[in-house]
Structure 1
Amino acid sequence: MVLTHRILAALFALALLLGGFLGAVEILLARLGQPPWLVPHPQWSAWLGGQTWDAGAVRTALAVLALLGLLLVILALRRGKPRALALPPRPGHTPAGVTVTANRRGVEASLSAAARRTSAVSSAATTLGGRSATTTVVTSTRSAGNLQRDVTTAISRRLAELGLADTVRPRVTIKHKGH
């Protein structure tokens, strides 16, 4: 699950938990004949009793709730990055009918390692997108010279070894350490 989905789900669950707790406390207080704690439910009840389906506030609240629900459904159905990448079969190595996959993080680590093996690279991090591999390289040298070309070549070579050269395009960003 995508990190943002996890965070949104946790926040939504926390809101539901707190709302349920508040509702239980308010019901208990009303049952005991005590004044409300946070929610002025007698006033709200009186106001809601005077509303009709044609009231502007009711229609606005329903529209906002419908849009919020639609947004949550769209976020839930949105496809995240697959954890495994299908690698093309290698003639002579892969039996017929066998699908070979590679872990996305493993491929990212492999591409980062290929970039780090290039001279003048201090560190490298790669993120695989839909059709591109974006590598951010950190160097301590002021003049990058052919560094971008060298890193792109190293990553392209590694993509070709994995059989992903035709489907994934390398993109390299150079950052200078201390700048």
Structure 2
Amino acid sequence: MRVVNRLAGVLLGLVLLAGGLLVVVEGVLAATGRRPWPVDFATWYGPLTRTELRAPVVLACSIAVGVLGLLLFVTQVRRWAPPRLAVRHGTGARPVSWWVYRRSVERELSSAVDALPGVSETRCRLRGRGDRWRLTVSPRGRSDTGEPVHRAVTAQLERMAAPVPVRVRVALRRPRRVA
């Protein structure tokens, strides 16, 4: 989501910058008594003064701006999953905080499960905040591979010092048939 926020911010900034520069140029030209250069006001201001509020164009533009504003609002208010998750703290006199990246943990768990015989194409989805993790593992494999997958995931989480307890859900998908 960080990339989308940055792109939206850059786009909005460029639009505002262009609009501000246009206003400055038009203001300087009007102050010096010259004709408007980039935008001829007579060509767009005249039709705008004759357009009524009940016109379909006004309604369509209002709906489009409202939907865009609502979409931006919802994407900004929605709680997104943090990119980092806390792991168990170090022991000793001074507590140490450690963090791991969510995508790295998902890739590591997928690789550990794919190393099992009879299991392939594993997708892991790690959710949660802080030290409360929820993990969904969905590999392709036969129904009897569920317990080994669960053991492999639990061992890998223990090796990563994941916070205890982690809710692990294994959702096996049917293996693909070889033609």
TM over 0.5: yes
CA RMSD of aligned residues (A): 4.2
Deviations 1:90-119 (A, max 9, x none): 5xx455332111121221122113212322
Amino acid at match of 1:114: A
8 Å Cα contact 2:149/2:170 also seen in 1 = no
Answer yes or no: is 1:109 the counterpart of 2:112. no
The TM-score normalised by the length of structure 2 is 0.61
| Change in 2 beyond 3 A, CA 1:76/1:99 | same
Deviations 1:8-62 (A, max 9, x none): 739x939x77xx6xxx8xx9xx968xxx9xxxx867533310246xx23446644
8 Å Cα contact 1:152/1:172 also seen in 2 = no
Distance in structure 1 (CA, Å) of the matches to 2:2 and 2:151: 31
Give runs of aligned pairs for residues 39-118 of structure 1, distance below 5 A. 45-51=45-51, 55-57=53-55, 58=58, 61-62=61-62, 64-90=64-90, 93=91, 95-118=93-116
What stretches of structure 1 of length at least 5 have no aligned partner?
none
What stretches of structure 2 of length at least 5 have no aligned partner?
27-34
Cα drift, residue 7 of structure 1 = 9.8
Answer yes or no: is 1:163 the counterpart of 2:179. no
Cα drift, residue 85 of structure 1 = 0.7
Amino acid at match of 1:132: R
Give runs of aligned pairs for residues 141-152 of structure 1, distance below 5 A. 144-152=142-150
8 Å Cα contact 1:156/1:170 also seen in 2 = no
Match of 1:56, SS?
A: coil
Cα drift, residue 177 of structure 1 = 3.0
